[in-house]
Protein backbone atom coordinates (compact mmCIF):
# COMPACT_ATOMS: atom_id res chain seq x y z
CA UNK A 1 0.00 0.00 0.00
CA UNK A 2 1.40 3.38 -0.98
CA UNK A 3 1.60 6.17 1.58
CA UNK A 4 1.06 9.81 0.69
CA UNK A 5 1.92 12.93 2.67
CA UNK A 6 1.34 16.60 1.91
CA UNK A 7 1.68 19.97 3.59
CA UNK A 8 0.06 23.38 3.33
CA UNK A 9 -0.38 26.60 5.27
CA UNK A 10 -3.47 28.06 6.88
CA UNK A 11 -4.13 31.64 5.88
CA UNK A 12 -3.63 34.19 8.70
CA UNK A 13 -6.50 34.23 11.17
CA UNK A 14 -8.25 31.20 9.61
CA UNK A 15 -7.10 28.36 11.89
CA UNK A 16 -10.40 28.00 13.77
CA UNK A 17 -12.36 28.11 10.50
CA UNK A 18 -10.11 25.45 8.96
CA UNK A 19 -10.80 23.17 11.91
CA UNK A 20 -14.55 23.91 11.85
CA UNK A 21 -14.81 23.01 8.17
CA UNK A 22 -13.12 19.68 8.76
CA UNK A 23 -15.37 19.01 11.76
CA UNK A 24 -18.24 19.37 9.29
CA UNK A 25 -16.66 17.71 6.24
CA UNK A 26 -19.25 16.82 3.62
CA UNK A 27 -20.34 13.17 3.48
CA UNK A 28 -19.92 13.24 -0.31
CA UNK A 29 -16.30 14.36 0.13
CA UNK A 30 -15.63 11.40 2.42
CA UNK A 31 -17.21 9.13 -0.19
CA UNK A 32 -14.92 10.42 -2.95
CA UNK A 33 -11.88 9.80 -0.75
CA UNK A 34 -13.06 6.27 0.02
CA UNK A 35 -13.79 5.57 -3.65
CA UNK A 36 -10.24 6.75 -4.44
CA UNK A 37 -8.94 3.99 -2.15
CA UNK A 38 -7.79 6.47 0.51
CA UNK A 39 -7.69 5.09 4.06
CA UNK A 40 -6.13 6.09 7.36
CA UNK A 41 -6.32 9.75 6.40
CA UNK A 42 -5.25 12.18 9.09
CA UNK A 43 -4.48 15.89 9.14
CA UNK A 44 -2.21 17.49 11.73
CA UNK A 45 -1.60 21.11 12.67
CA UNK A 46 1.54 22.83 13.92
CA UNK A 47 0.69 26.47 14.40
CA UNK A 48 -0.44 27.59 10.96
CA UNK A 49 1.19 24.65 9.16
CA UNK A 50 -0.90 21.69 8.04
CA UNK A 51 0.40 18.17 7.45
CA UNK A 52 -1.74 15.46 5.89
CA UNK A 53 -1.09 11.73 5.59
CA UNK A 54 -3.06 8.93 3.98
CA UNK A 55 -2.61 5.46 2.59
CA UNK A 56 -3.68 4.50 -0.92
CA UNK A 57 -5.15 1.02 -1.23
CA UNK A 58 -5.33 1.34 -5.02
CA UNK A 59 -2.11 3.33 -5.46
CA UNK A 60 -1.31 7.03 -5.26
CA UNK A 61 -1.78 7.58 -9.01
CA UNK A 62 -5.31 6.14 -8.84
CA UNK A 63 -6.16 8.24 -5.78
CA UNK A 64 -4.89 11.38 -7.51
CA UNK A 65 -6.84 10.60 -10.69
CA UNK A 66 -10.14 10.00 -8.87
CA UNK A 67 -9.72 13.25 -6.94
CA UNK A 68 -8.75 15.21 -10.07
CA UNK A 69 -11.86 13.98 -11.90
CA UNK A 70 -14.28 14.67 -9.05
CA UNK A 71 -16.60 17.69 -9.13
CA UNK A 72 -17.01 17.25 -5.36
CA UNK A 73 -13.26 17.73 -4.86
CA UNK A 74 -13.40 20.78 -7.13
CA UNK A 75 -16.16 22.26 -4.94
CA UNK A 76 -14.21 21.39 -1.74
CA UNK A 77 -11.04 23.04 -3.08
CA UNK A 78 -13.02 26.16 -3.97
CA UNK A 79 -14.66 26.12 -0.51
CA UNK A 80 -11.25 25.84 1.21
CA UNK A 81 -9.18 28.31 -0.78
CA UNK A 82 -10.05 31.26 1.47
CA UNK A 83 -8.63 29.44 4.52
CA UNK A 84 -5.82 27.31 3.05
CA UNK A 85 -2.80 28.11 0.94
CA UNK A 86 -1.95 24.87 -0.88
CA UNK A 87 -0.77 25.04 -4.45
CA UNK A 88 -1.66 21.87 -6.36
CA UNK A 89 0.91 19.58 -7.90
CA UNK A 90 1.15 20.67 -11.53
CA UNK A 91 1.26 17.11 -12.88
CA UNK A 92 -1.59 15.55 -10.90
CA UNK A 93 -3.66 18.46 -9.62
CA UNK A 94 -3.51 16.81 -6.18
CA UNK A 95 -1.92 17.99 -2.98
CA UNK A 96 1.83 18.61 -3.27
CA UNK A 97 3.48 15.29 -2.44
CA UNK A 98 6.23 15.16 0.20
CA UNK A 99 9.32 13.05 -0.39
CA UNK A 100 9.65 10.14 2.03
CA UNK A 101 13.12 9.75 3.52
CA UNK A 102 12.53 7.23 6.32
CA UNK A 103 10.00 4.49 7.06
CA UNK A 104 9.87 2.04 9.96
CA UNK A 105 7.27 -0.67 9.27
Q: Which residues are catalytic?
A: 22
The H-assigned helical ranges of the chain are: 15-23, 27-35, 60-68, 71-80
Pairing of strands 38-46, 2-10: unpaired
Q: Which strands make up the sheet holding 84-85, listed edge to edge?
A: 38-46, 49-56, 2-10, 84-85
Amino acid sequence: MERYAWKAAIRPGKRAEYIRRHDEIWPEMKEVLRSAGIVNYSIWLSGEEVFGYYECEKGAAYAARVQAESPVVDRWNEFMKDVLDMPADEETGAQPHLEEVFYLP
